[in-house]
Amino acid sequence: MMYKFMEFPDSTEVTHSEMREDGSVKVCVERPVEGAFKTAYWELPSYRCFDVEGFGADELAEQRRYLESNAHLIIRFARNGGFENASGF
């Protein structure tokens, strides 16, 4: 299951999985473009990027900076079943 973390004004959406048994979290960054989607998957906390379709190197670098700033929140929410289930928010 993927949980919504953020949606930006350009319709880019960031979603994340629950925390996996190995302590990692899968993150998906997706943006609609002319009948399709640009997609990139990331793994936290390693920041490994994989299965990229449509995003360029500059966009991926921007995504990494964003994830580095927000990984602590994404990981916290992943432990608790998404933002809606995180206490204190």
**Tell me, what amino acid is at 43?**
E
Segment 56-77, tens digit of pLDDT:
999 999 999 999 999 999 999 9
**For the chain, what are the domain ranges?**
2-79
Whether the Cβ atoms of residue 68 and residue 47 lie closer than 8 Å to each other: yes
Round to whole Å and give the CA distance between 36 and 43: 23
pLDDT of 83 over the 90 cut: no
In this predicted model, what pLDDT tens digit does every residue of 10-53 receive, in sequence order? 999 999 999 999 999 999 999 999 999 999 999 999 999 999 99
